[in-house]
Structure 1
Amino acid sequence: MKTAYINCTILDGSEQMKPIPQMTIIEEDGKIVAIERSSKKTVNYQVIDLEGRYLMPGLINLHIHLPSSGKPTKKQTDATKLVKLLTSTALSRAILVGICKNSAKTQLMSGVTTVRTVGGITNVDTKIRDSILMGKIVGPRMLAANMAVSVPGGHMAGSLAYEASSLEEACHDVEQIIKDHPDLIKLMITGGVLDAKTKGEPGVLRMPPDYVKGCCEVAHKSGYPVAAHAESPEGVLVALENGVDTVEHGSALDENLVSLFKAKKSSLICTISPALPIALFNKNISHSSEVTQFNGKVVMDGIISGVKTALANDIPVGLGTDSGCPFVTHYDMWRELVYFHKYVNVSNSFALYTATKRNAKIANIGTVTGSIEVGKSADFLITEGNPLEDLSALRTPYMVVTCGRRFKHPKIKKYADVENELDKWL
């Protein structure tokens, strides 16, 4: 039986979207088959009366890590030791899978109908992706990278990324990852905020350029795009010169980097969410050292500057949260839209467009999802209020629909302390 979502106000995901009231969307077998005025007859349809509520494409989060919740701890965890523990026995591996399943489900219940994982543990991400596709578990559409590739002393080396000590090892790691049929390959080109040892070091180049080039060649030969963690101009330069398709986080951009982005047809993924708590929170709240807070501010300023320059030069910019980092939960994609609006000075409609149709295009799934159009997947986020007026309307979904499957008043476990601190910066 077809489902008719009647009396809805459509926000279609386009760049210049405007509310279209009193509309009906017909869904069949998980796809949109018609978009009509609500006066049309809906005989023999299952009818969902939305009573004027706002229906838009489900959000797309292009940068998440499933193994952690985002709930902060007072002391930084040794990620390498923790991963060894979680993969040491059948019981611990089952616990790990359960954590990742819960993270994926939380993304969905918050209104995110598609996620892109960019660093996980072993091949857990692709297994969860496949279980969702087979209907065995509940979750969003997943584009999964599994483990990333790093170098000794590099970002997430030994935890969410393999350590490659040579060009041959780096290429071999990519080949091993490909065996589990991921959707993309992730490289850790520079250091990050939490692993920096001195002020001004968060984006220090770690991966040699020839490693980046070799990994990209192996990945592209097998048809996989490459995403790269890069938090400095030097890191972005190495990424672009050697074949990376999406630069994650980014930095301030000069004319050369702008030209390279355009020549390589690469995209920049904006992630303000993980930098903001480190850069702006009181150190007693973030549990950051002076060095970490300084570097967090460097990264946050670089991301915002780079994104502004990219948009001014028509370089595609996508959005992701880096969910799993401290104070970055799996239910707060809406906050990234708010930060994008507040710090990059884009309109609410442009922020919503970026998190839906633009993100879908960057992820090469623009023909599948990202907008309300006939033939696309029935991936909807339905809210009481109009996010074009106030993006916080996205905070509490009335209903989430993924491939036609509905979740009304979705329930999410939230962390009150995290909510209270983050709300101060809206």
Structure 2
Amino acid sequence: MNQTKLNRRAFLKRIGIGSAAYVIASQLMPLSVSAATEEGGTAININDFLNNGQTIQDAINAVQNAGGGELFFPPGVYRTDRTLQITGDNVILRGANRDSSIITASGSLTNQNLLLVRKAGGRILNTKLVDLTLTSDVRYVFGNTAGSATAGPDISTMNHAVVLDGSHNVIIDNVRIHHFNGDGISFQDTVSSGGPDQTTLNNCVLSLCRDGVSMNNTGHSTHIYGGSYEFNTRYGINTGGRNSVFIKDADIEQNLNVGIRISHQSNIVIRDCTFENNARGFANDSTQRTHIWVGDYDVARSIVIDGCFFHGRSMRSLIRVDKADGVSIKNNFVDFANQFGTANGAFVQTSAACRNIFVDEFSYNVTPNVRRISNPQYALSDIKPSSVTALPAPNEAIRGFMVRVEASAGQADALYMCVKDADGSYKWGRINMTF
């Protein structure tokens, strides 16, 4: 086993923001077209509408009525007292950058969503959200204290920040979604069977929501690249019963329940992600104390967890696999996990309902006498044992390892496992093979 300490990827930092001007959207507005977008279509500056006493929704409607285009939000805080709705194709909402272009609630939006992407009777094509912050409380975004001159109301009873319903080809790029009672991004399928498909999240921050992203049994062909999914009150990323989800280079940390939940889905790849201190809401030795939970509802198939970094206190396991067929867990690194020495602690916790689980060696920076996988009878681990010309001295650190002693010409190889004998000593036991 490779015990070399790896360098930890830097976590994305939560960015504090200074003061910004407040722009209040409340009334109706006339159309004002300022330029053409890089992708073609209408380009509108939101201030051309707001300065005439009109609303964000009417600016969105103007873009839609023009057949698509871009609505640009210069630096500022833009308030809406109603749910914003995108009902047409090819609509882009773009800010100057997510540190300074902020859309937030004003007035009473109790149990309502901030942005709804939905139209009756079919899919919405080609929606983009770029370089924005969506929040229900600007106090925490700006680092202000409650009651300061720039605080604004805390609409903590709001529901989801963004609802994608029947959408196709949605790109959400460099967007912060912060402080919602519901989910940061909620996938739904009330208007189109299967719900959203081909959704891409790039370098987004989803924090202090219920789930950062909740796919709700939808979300075919979802790609998540980079960004942070942190401090959510349930799951960082919650996948459901649809296929093909790819998650790469994301930081998933400090979520109250599990970092990533795969309830019953197929073809999921989690690669090069960082997991730290998830499952804070569970008791120390509960089985849910895990970073990734696979198949808690029904069988999950074709799951790959590759090249991830794990750090967690009082974890029951790094990865819990309840119901699954075809899981590959390889090339991962454990920086810290201080409860793996308990009777039930393991890097990977499996159950009798699992089939075809392959666990390659973990590298680690923790005490090496932890159990690497629980219930190993349900998993294949290191299916190609290392070859040696002579057996090394047996000891506790390599207990359970298998090696293949290569034979000379005309003789068969021999397979051995390092085991603890009844007297407490460690020995190599030869495994009999029938040909």
- TM-based fold match above 0.5: no
Shorter-normalised TM-score: what interval?
Answer: under 0.3
The structure whose Rg is larger is 2
- In the superposition, the TM-score normalised over structure 1's length comes to 0.27
User: Counting helix residues as a fraction of each chain, which structure ranks higher?
Assistant: 1
User: Counting strand residues as a fraction of each chain, which structure ranks higher?
Assistant: 2
- In the superposition, the TM-score normalised over structure 2's length comes to 0.26
Bigger relative CO (Cα 8 Å, ≥ 6 apart):
1
